Amino acid sequence: SQQGEEDPQALSIQEGENATMNCSYKTSINNLQWYRQNSGRGLVHLILIRSNEREKHSGRLRVTLDTSKKSSSLLITASRAADTASYFCATEGEGGSEKLVFGKGTKLTVNP
């Protein structure tokens, strides 16, 4: 069953613009992770934010986490055509399991 729900489902922007994707989840989490997937390929880990963190940066990526609202956002600044991909949030529940529960993803298209 899906835990995270990304919003929007699809996003089309111009190169240089910022892209914001949101993720909402249902249950308590240990951490939340964002992944990128280029068409039909494996997932690339972007960033992990723990439940006791509120914001995290990595290069052009900025992730926020609001556990009271059970939501997270991924901001990609100064987007490039190479950022075109699907972006997924995945939540890791409390406890020792490695299981990740993924949302259905946001398909981002960055037009040159």
Tell me whether residue 48 or residue 61 sits nearer to other proteins (CB atom): 48
Within 22-51, which residues bind other proteins (CB under 8 A)?
30-31, 33, 35, 40-45, 48, 50
Beta bridge partners of 11: 108
Tell me whether residue 11 or residue 13 sits nearer to other proteins (CB atom): 11
Beta bridge partners of 62: 57, 75
* Min separation Cβ 17 and other proteins, Å: 27
Q: Does 65 bind other proteins (CB under 8 A)?
A: no
Handedness of CA 25, 100, 92, 11 (dihedral sign): negative
Handedness of CA 38, 109, 15, 13 (dihedral sign): negative
Q: Report the alpha-carbon distance of residue 33 to residue 54 in Å, rounded.
A: 13
- Residues of this chain that bind other proteins (CB under 8 A): 1-2, 30-31, 33, 35, 40-45, 48, 50, 88, 90, 92, 96-105
